[in-house]
Amino acid sequence: MGTVWRASDVLLRRDVAVKEVVLPPGLAPSDRDAMYERTMREARAAAALQHPSVVQVYDVVQENGRPWIVMELLDARSLADMVIEDGPVAPRAVAKIGIALLGALEIAHANGVLHRDVKPANVLICNDGRCVLTDFGVARMPTDVQLTTPGMVLGSPHFISPERAMGQDFGPPSDLFSLGVTLYTAIEGRPPFDRGDPIETMHAVVEDPPAPTTRAGVLNDVLMGLLEKDPARRYDVATARGMIRELLAGPLVNKAPVHMMTDPYAVVPAQRSPWQPVTPPQQSQERPSGQIGGRAMLAPGESLHDRLAAGHGGGPLPPAGGPLQTPTGQMPAPSWGAPKPAPAASGLAGLKRRGGDLVDTVKGWPRRLQLGAAGGLAVVLVLIGVFAFRGGDDPIDTTPVQAGGPTGAPAAADFPTQQHAERGVTVNVPKGWKKAGGGKSVYFDYIDPEDAGRKVRILVEDVSTKATPTGFLGAAERGLKGNSKSCPKPYERVDLREGEIGGRVSAELEYTCGADASQRHGVWGAVVKDGKAYSFFLTSTEDNFAASKSIFDEMVRSFALTAS
């Protein structure tokens, strides 16, 4: 639909991308107006979306009646170019691209926007590691009038969904089908329905099964679920993302050292931009390296598959002791994954497991002590950063401090334990605590004989085969909010984050109930397998939570699923 120019914003002094609509010669005035309207619609659709994997639109301006879209400048190359130039992409990288694009489509569909042209050419892999979905040029807002003529199909034949190819009604599942074709193409190096002719290709999309995979391996089931012909049976965002995260935590787990891990939104390791500032004349100009541009920054002749299969980008390592970052879907130590920011009202509670033992200790303190310690904690963390990065002749150990030793796994319990082994679950609980529940109930309780208000509960419940740990705990949270007897108001979520328990993708919900002296503090972990949710939680008074937190950590450390 146009040409994208690199430009300078002279007011804000930043580089931007400006999209110019290029009209075909001899276009009728009505068609020209329709194309201009489509461009404005693209801007409105993209500007409504805020997500790291969606290109950011800054502004739309008109010059002599022509619209120009001002966007963030992405130092990137397309996934299509990467496949064409470098060959098939490594399975782990494809999985992370899938996670990023699922997030972009989820936020788009939640805002009522259908992309309608998801394909490798519209997927940009940027130099900072991000994967970005761009070009909403054929996107359609539900409130917009239909601008295509009857029988005209927008999009690319290889990547169009069967229902769109047949002219039927379509919705979010159509974008997910196109995503499946995109991921298939990335990992196999070819589209699944290619017949060499657009009409024959569209016929294959509607009638034929996808070509068998040869490189997809463990990703095959996810790809086939997204390429399901029937949109009602096609995988939705939650199902596909849950399966991919399971793979990223298992068969596709990152084998690279911690200091080589990328950040949560990176699909390849971030590299220095090839667009360097102009060097003053008196200084020597750095000669071009000959590397292929884009986020991957590959040397001539180097394969992206070989680079990413090794688990890292082969580029310069971050300074020792620098901030550690984690790839999407990767479930690193400690047992819970990288936390999401908590609401400001939670004080230090949102800083889960950051900064090693120091923050892990402070987060468990009563809130009145947390707030009082906030200033001192900030000073300590700044000093840690200064000493970790300072130069000098004296060697300094900059190995990151992690709870539970160098692997980051929680340390073994420092209190007596007994093993709970019921209904396919084994987990350690405090020795001597009174057991309750069982029988026809879905839970087992272990209650502190010296404090009836402190207990742990282990639950095994039937759930949908498409359920995810996060979705299960979301439903559990709604139950907590509605049960004022077990969870007095006000209810407050401290955090809901994803991670790993027993080698499986998991979620953890931390919350408080009540206020003042009666306030209670709980933490709940869950995994889902084969239509069952296996979960456990610890609850105690707020003042006793810090002393009780090690009990939950021991349950995380010892939790395992067995044949029931």
Peptide bond just before 490 cis, omega within 30 deg: yes
3 state SS of 14: strand
Residue with tokens 């509670």, as numbered in its chain:
349
Catalytic residue among 75, 117, 175, 360: 117
Both tokens of 422, joined, read 């019921």
Evaluate whether 75 touches 274 at the Cβ level (below 8 Å).
Answer: yes
Nearest to 54 by CA among 136, 139, 161, 158: 136
Hey, how many other C-beta atoms are within 10 angstroms of the C-beta on 147?
16
Evaluate whether 76 touches 124 at the Cβ level (below 8 Å).
Answer: yes
CATH class name, domain 2-72: alpha beta
Known catalytic residue at 117: yes
Q: Which helix (H) or strand (E) holds 512?
A: strand 504-513
SS (H, E, C) 361-387: HHCCCCHHHHHHHHHHHHHHHHHHHHH
Q: Which residues of the chain have pLDDT under 70?
A: 1, 42, 137-155, 256-266, 268-411, 563-564
- Can you tell me the distance from the alpha carbon of 469 to that of 448, in angstroms, rounded to the nearest whole number? 27
Annotated domain spans of the chain? 2-72, 76-144+153-249, 417-561
Nearest to 444 by CA among 553, 536, 563: 536
Q: 80-93 burial, b if ≥16 CB within 10 A, otherwise e?
A: bbbbeebebbbbbb
Evaluate whether 357 touches 403 at the Cβ level (below 8 Å).
Answer: yes
Q: Give 20's DSSP letter.
A: E
Query: Quick one: pLDDT at residue 268?
Result: 64
Query: Quick one: pLDDT at residue 192?
Result: 94
Give the chain's end-to-end CA distance (angstroms, integer). Answer: 58
3 state SS of 290: coil
29 Cβ partners below 8 Å, 6+ apart? none
Both tokens of 396, joined, read 């300094």
CATH class name, domain 76-144+153-249: mainly alpha
Evaluate whether 164 touches 153 at the Cβ level (below 8 Å).
Answer: yes
Using CB atoms within 10 A of its CB, is residue 488 exposed (0-12), middle (13-18) or buried (19+)?
A: middle
- Can you tell me the distance from the alpha carbon of 48 to that of 101, in angstroms, rounded to the nearest whole number? 17
Query: Quick one: pLDDT at residue 40?
Result: 77
Q: Tell me, which fold does domain 417-561 have in CATH?
A: Protein Transport Mog1p; Chain A (3.40.1000)
pTM attached to this predicted model: 0.48
Nearest to 69 by CA among 120, 1, 131: 1
- Can you tell me the distance from the alpha carbon of 108 to that of 112, in angstroms, rounded to the nearest whole number? 6
